[in-house]
Amino acid sequence: LDVLNQLPFNFPMIIRFCPNTVFLIGRQDINGEWVDGDPPLFARSRTTYICGKYGSSEDNCILQGGPNQFLGTGIANEVEVKGI
């Protein structure tokens, strides 16, 4: 998941998660390093986050752990989450 946070912002995209997969979201330690999993996803403008081919919750894409699974900067527009 960390590589997703390195993609350019405000570029329209679809981010598709593999079905039947648990993605572990970590937490920051006292040094600001992510431990026990990946950083949360940062909501991006003009982006659709979708589970499997059709965005069905039956495809079991799970973001688990951490205090937050998605973070926003307050300026993300046109964000859609399907089946996660």
Per-residue pLDDT of 8-62, as tens digits, reads: 666 788 889 999 999 999 999 999 999 999 999 888 888 899 999 999 999 999 9
Q: Are the CB atoms for 1 and 18 separated by under 8 Å?
A: no
Give the integer Cα–Cα distance in Å for 58 and 52. 9
Give the pTM: 0.75
Give the integer Cα–Cα distance in Å for 59 and 50. 10
Q: Are the CB atoms for 82 and 47 separated by under 8 Å?
A: no
- Look up tokens 């999993």; give the residue: 37
